A and B are shown apart, each in its own frame.
Chain A
């Protein structure tokens, strides 16, 4: 049978790229950030925001687009001290929501990521590959969020439509 999944193009989400020592970032951001996840390929969340573990001294803050201005005001990237880097990159990624019972199958078509719950847990978040592109995949309550560099958005939408056809 055809896949029982729903795919929608979400577009941009609030994204801030955070680099530097955890203590320095936490000290600058105060209570604005969720707790820092310390396990690779996971995220920690608070108030609809998620902080994603990307690599050593590297995190992504992910939130609904409507919170971008508020977070920009709190994080004040342009005034951050030299030992940390906070860059708004919301427009660099295009997000897709993949939900439904067969969402994991759609992910398996797109990406070599092992999205099985035993491997990619409920707070799973990782950069991987999708349709040959660098992609960010997050596990969501009823499926997954997949994002790619914004300029590839039309191509990935094309791919996902083919996968669902």
Chain B
């Protein structure tokens, strides 16, 4: 570690760590980042650039890093991480991205030879024909960046959790700590989150004092005091990455105190938010400003003071503001040689000069260019207005283009920004949510101002959150004042590329081109050039793009404005966002008590509406899908079957007005039902289309139960409540959802009554005593039950409803009692076949959001007696228009062994013209020994006997149009 200082820094020299970078082994210390360890080892060339494959080094010291991205390997596998944010650990392995085989010798560098031919917008213009996607894979490979890891983490998991607080403070630098102390002492619930691995923010990189002690001692005392407050949650390694509506903020905790957690994402709802995220130093734009060895001044200061690493031996600092002077002084104090400070300002404040005694200051001067390709060798310096030039030898060029308050979160919250001419930066203006900026993020760029501002803002936030807090006098801090002058780019006669966005290789020339081509709005410039996009989101360069646009257009910078700040502030793992939701719970699922039995029976299970995982069919040894379904259907038609009908939606209604209410909901009359009886009905939407079908049963004079389809149960619940609460709040109707209060085993088939009898019941099952569409309460197999005679299969059917706690027992008993009658369990595929044979409608098939009851041949269900019901008027108006309707028909393919794909179009004569309908369902009918289908066909009711034509891509299938019923057309079996 030839550039490691002998003492100082916040590294633990007693804990050396070995790591690998691009295949070479190095050593660092606990407390290092990968970037600081590389610099301490003298590694200057760390990457290649995204587009031109130019040599790049480390430019920043934190999340702002634009120049170097690495791919972490092994158990840390992760693509595109700035090394400045990667904590060093023993065994860490990383490699550069954007280069092959190495950053020193990169085949991709050949692109720089053609650089003048591939300006911004080149891809958009060139790769349009025949199809961008033809070129995209190879371009993306050439452009570099690491791929996502091929495998998930070998161990551990992510977590997402919720949090609530009175005051959320983003950032634990001086402002954040001061605000947290103020808020914490008041007793408010405080949530303090900071992206660094330790609190202190910029104080970790500087040599300042607070109240007569070192600033870091003040930080330690503040952290200790906060740790003793039970009302304070203080998280480090935790970035507040998104500011959503209603003061909901997302915090990505990278190193949770939990043995198996990889990352945790917090969704925190805060009464008040204090943004104390500091400020980010800006780059300066001049020729070849991306060469390895060009580095932010603050980064130089950080590496020297925090990590005891000297990023160069002989430095030049180039600035337009005061802060670089302290950085130069610290670099010199650490043993580095400072050749000069180049300041674009002609009048350098005395307070700045005083910090850099003994260092040559070149006021009113600029760096035009640097020499050196793999590492800076010298800086070419000239007067600001041009003229005499000199080359100053150096291997490090510290640049400081001023400071931009980190307003990202404030802006994400939709707060507005304003341009501060004194600070030469955008600062927060009008908040849109309960949010306030404090410290450097509010434009307070000296430590004393920061501390007092944070204390005052915390008191204000506490007051807004309903807490009383005494006005606090902040501790005294020693810091130099800050001043800056604009320098958006250096204009001199230099040939090299001048980068505005180092990460995306966006140059001044690119922005000029965008403007020439008409992309004058800064948002358009961003999209045309990609400036400000990418992993760093332009943290060091965005304002230079805005300044360049302003200069080119001859307008003031505030008139250009900023682009939109969007979440995430820094990259976030998808895993952290999804939290526990992976693997078996990635999609919601619902089970009935029979699920375990289904699995043991070998059922093929999948979702069949409303998240219910239901058995599709029960294959036996050697059976294929069709054979299994045929067997189940034959059992129902010839003997008996049973299916689990538990998922049907069920609602109990109570009140004096239920009858009227149901008459309004359904198209037919329900109020005339007597207790113990039920009626099938349709519900329409206001526009007269079918919402759902089901059965209404009267339990008592004022008690009813209605069933809905499985998939629409929730929607129908909302519909019923809406009608009640919005349209008829004065009606006495109370609705209780009882879908899961009742499970049912539906026993169906000619022997269903025998099976029920064998189970043992106190209910008289004779057809006269218990007719079709009635219900009886009693016991079945010794269990309290409600038995309903409805049928979805067209066969004699008993729906035996019991409480779920009894369902598994009932099921076992049904299977045992039915064994002697040849009972078979029936899956949803078999049910589908059986209902198609009967022509029973199914939502999502025949009911496709376009048809009404008349189209389905169910005009009988549209009451002529009731004065009104929901949808009545719409149906009448639409049908009075006389437009051609698609009507439900049956189809029999001329070749009985030919299956028609569901959804297939019907066209006149099978020719290539507009469709006249579609096939809604097609099944192998076990009772007919052939394929049968249902379809919606224009004027279908009057076309029975005709031949319709199914037009497929490869052939036409002729099929005879029939009535939409293929079994027991008179319904004798289901009423038996």
Known A19-B736, A85-B736, A158-B585: A150·B804 in contact at CB below 8 Å: yes
A85 CA / B260 CA spacing, docked (Å): 48
Contact status B703-A109, CB under 8 Å: no
Contact status A92-B740, CB under 8 Å: yes
Contact status B585-A162, CB under 8 Å: yes
Contact status B157-A20, CB under 8 Å: no
Known A88-B741, A158-B585, A163-B159: A1·B734 in contact at CB below 8 Å: no
Contact status B162-A89, CB under 8 Å: no
User: What number of B residues sit within 8 Å (CB to CB) of A?
Assistant: 48
Q: How far is the CB of A155 from chain B (nearest CB, A)?
A: 5
Contact status A12-B162, CB under 8 Å: no
| B730 at interface, CB cutoff 8 A | no
Within 8 A of A (CB), among B571-596: 579-580, 584-585, 588-592, 595
A165 CA / B159 CA spacing, docked (Å): 11
| B885 at interface, CB cutoff 8 A | no
Contact status B738-A92, CB under 8 Å: yes
Q: B590: which of A3, A11, A19, A152 is its contact (CB, 8 Å)?
A: A152
A83 CA / B259 CA spacing, docked (Å): 56
Stretch of B36-44, B648-656, B765-773, B909-917 with 4 or more beta carbons under 8 angstroms from chain A: B648-656
- Closest partner residue, chain A, to B646 (CB atom): A151
Q: B259: which of A1, A87, A158 is its contact (CB, 8 Å)?
A: A1
Within 8 A of A (CB), among B705-742: 732, 734, 736-742
Q: How far is the CB of B206 from chain A (nearest CB, A)?
A: 35
Q: How far is the CB of B779 from chain A (nearest CB, A)?
A: 15
| B609 at interface, CB cutoff 8 A | no
Q: B656: which of A1, A82, A113 is its contact (CB, 8 Å)?
A: A82
* Chain A residues within an 8 Å CB radius of B803: 90-91
A111 CA / B162 CA spacing, docked (Å): 7
Contact status A2-B269, CB under 8 Å: no
Contact status A87-B732, CB under 8 Å: no
| A116 at interface, CB cutoff 8 A | yes
| B48 at interface, CB cutoff 8 A | no
Q: A19: which of B595, B654, B702, B742 is its contact (CB, 8 Å)?
A: B654
Known A1-B258, A89-B736, A92-B740: A154·B159 in contact at CB below 8 Å: no
Contact status B738-A87, CB under 8 Å: yes
Known A91-B804, A165-B260: A155·B588 in contact at CB below 8 Å: yes
Q: How far is the CB of B883 from chain A (nearest CB, A)?
A: 42
Contact status A82-B258, CB under 8 Å: no
Contact status B740-A162, CB under 8 Å: no
* Chain B residues within an 8 Å CB radius of A93: 740
Among A108, A151, A158, A163, max chain B CB count under 10 A is at A151
Within 8 A of A (CB), among B227-285: 257-260, 267, 269
- Closest partner residue, chain A, to B584 (CB atom): A158
Q: How far is the CB of B743 from chain A (nearest CB, A)?
A: 8
Known A89-B741, A109-B159, A116-B189: A155·B164 in contact at CB below 8 Å: no
Q: B591: which of A20, A151, A163 is its contact (CB, 8 Å)?
A: A151
Among B589, B590, B647, B702, max chain A CB count under 10 A is at B590
* Chain A residues within an 8 Å CB radius of B689: none
| B945 at interface, CB cutoff 8 A | no
Apart from A3-B258, A85-B654, A87-B654, list 4 A-B contacts with CB within 8 A.
Answer: A82-B656, A114-B269, A151-B591, A155-B585
**A-B pairs with beta carbons under 8 Å apart, 29 shown:** A1-B258, A12-B805, A19-B734, A82-B732, A83-B655, A84-B734, A85-B654, A87-B736, A87-B738, A89-B737, A89-B738, A90-B741, A91-B740, A91-B805, A92-B737, A92-B739, A109-B161, A109-B162, A112-B267, A113-B162, A119-B164, A149-B739, A150-B740, A151-B590, A152-B588, A154-B595, A159-B580, A162-B580, A165-B157
